[in-house]
Amino acid sequence: MTRPPRTIYIIHAFSGGPDGIEKNVDSVRLVARSIAEFGDIPVCPQLWLPQIFDEATERQKAMALCLQMLASCDVVQVHGRYLTAGMIEELAHAVKLGKPITQFGGVKLISVTK
């Protein structure tokens, strides 16, 4: 029996952190592809929100949409080696909503509470 696809929200750095936007976007693209190849639906706003919002001047609008998308997902995955301010905001929202959270890439999730 095949299970239905899950929607998986990807928490990953975009503009913050030492790796830079280009490397972060490449990493998100690989994560999203892996999720899709496994049969699930990747939700990765890092790949399309920058096309409609300016990170420097409209970050809060973009983050509000991210949190709405996160709320509609079945699972949250945290990827990367470090947490940025935006990732912490998304992670705190996921915890508040009681979403299942998995982590990859060595990022340490120590004390995010409801």
In a domain, 110, yes or no: no
Q: What is the pLDDT of residues 21-45, one digit of tens each?
A: 899 999 999 999 999 999 999 999 9
Could you tell me whether strands 41-43 and 101-103 are parallel, antiparallel, or unpaired per DSSP bridges?
unpaired
In a domain, 114, yes or no: no
In a domain, 109, yes or no: no
- Give the mean pLDDT of the chain: 90
- Boundaries of domain holding 84: 7-103
In a domain, 2, yes or no: no
The enclosing domain of 56 has a CATH number of: 3.40.50.10400
The structural domain count of the chain equals 1
Put residue 16 in one of left, alpha, beta given phi > 0 → left and psi -120 to 50 → alpha: beta
pLDDT of residue 19: 80
